[in-house]
Amino acid sequence: MTDSSELHAGSDFPRMLPLRRVLVVDDDERFRPRLARALARRCGEVRQAGGVQEALAVAAEWQPTAAVVDLRMGDGSGADLVARLVADLPGLRAVILTGYGSIATALDAVRRGAWHYLSKPATADAVLAALTGPRAAPLGDETPAPSLERVEWEHIQRVMTDTGGNVSEAARRLGLHRRSLQRKLARNPPAG
């Protein structure tokens, strides 16, 4: 991936075969064309799809070698789409684009066949690096799932540092009442 700075323009991508035909799937009409254009300057061919159905149609006849897929789309889950794509097109590398907070879901997608995941907004370079670099650690199933309590607590801590310790603001962002946040903070952190 270190030589990604010298991507050949034109039609040959020596050992970067995954980048020959890249399918960009996102229902965000502002973001998708931008990403597609940026990718087009660096890869072989790039096509776009605005949703799951369209993506499946394009994939069936065009047989992309790589896909960049948004996690949340109006007509279906990007994770499901990726699972179907890699099933139909063995060897296809798919990266999941995800907004903040869906990282766990994106990791799920990796276990279901996605190559990597990125948080949005992602630069074209980051996408390329993810596509051509090593696969994201699939997180073996032996990694225990954290308790709900723990997940909640970590997210609260995160937002709290975000707001610089402002309880009222954090409560607003978390969507709960200030008093409730106070009480949660007063409690002790979960053990496991």
Partner DNA sequence: CCGGCGGTGCGGCATCTTGTCGCAGCACGG
Partner DNA sequence: CCGTGCTGCGACAAGATGCCGCACCGCCGG
Q: Which residues of the chain form contacts with a copy of itself (CB under 8 A)?
A: 1-2, 15-16, 99-105, 107-108, 118-123, 125-126, 129, 132-134, 136-137, 139-141, 143-152, 154-159, 161-162, 173-176, 192
Which entry of DNA, a copy of itself, none binds 90, CB below 5 to 8 A by partner kind? none
Q: What letter would DSSP give residue 122?
A: -
- Two tokens at 5? 């700075």
* Residue 182 touches DNA, criterion: CB under 7 A: yes
Q: How far apart are CA 156 and CA 19, in angstroms?
A: 40
Alpha helices, H only, the chain: 31-40, 52-62, 78-88, 103-111, 124-132, 148-162, 167-174, 178-186
Minimum distance of a copy of itself from residue 58's CB (angstroms) = 26
When binding is defined by CB under 7 A, the residue of 6, 15, 186, 191 that contacts DNA is 186
* Residue 147 touches DNA, criterion: CB under 7 A: no
- Longest Cα–Cα distance of the chain, Å, equals 61
Minimum distance of a copy of itself from residue 170's CB (angstroms) = 8
Minimum distance of DNA from residue 157's CB (angstroms) = 15
When binding is defined by CB under 7 A, the residue of 1, 168, 173, 189 that contacts DNA is 168
Minimum distance of DNA from residue 131's CB (angstroms) = 37
Question: From the CA atom positions of the chain, what is the Rg in Å?
Answer: 19
When binding is defined by CB under 7 A, the residue of 135, 151, 183, 189 that contacts DNA is 183
Encode 2-26 in three state secondary structure.
HHHHHCCCCCCCCCCHHHCEEEEEC
List Cα–Cα distances, 68 to 95, 99, 192, in angstroms: 5, 14, 35
Which entry of DNA, a copy of itself, none binds 104, CB below 5 to 8 A by partner kind? a copy of itself
Minimum distance of a copy of itself from residue 1's CB (angstroms) = 6
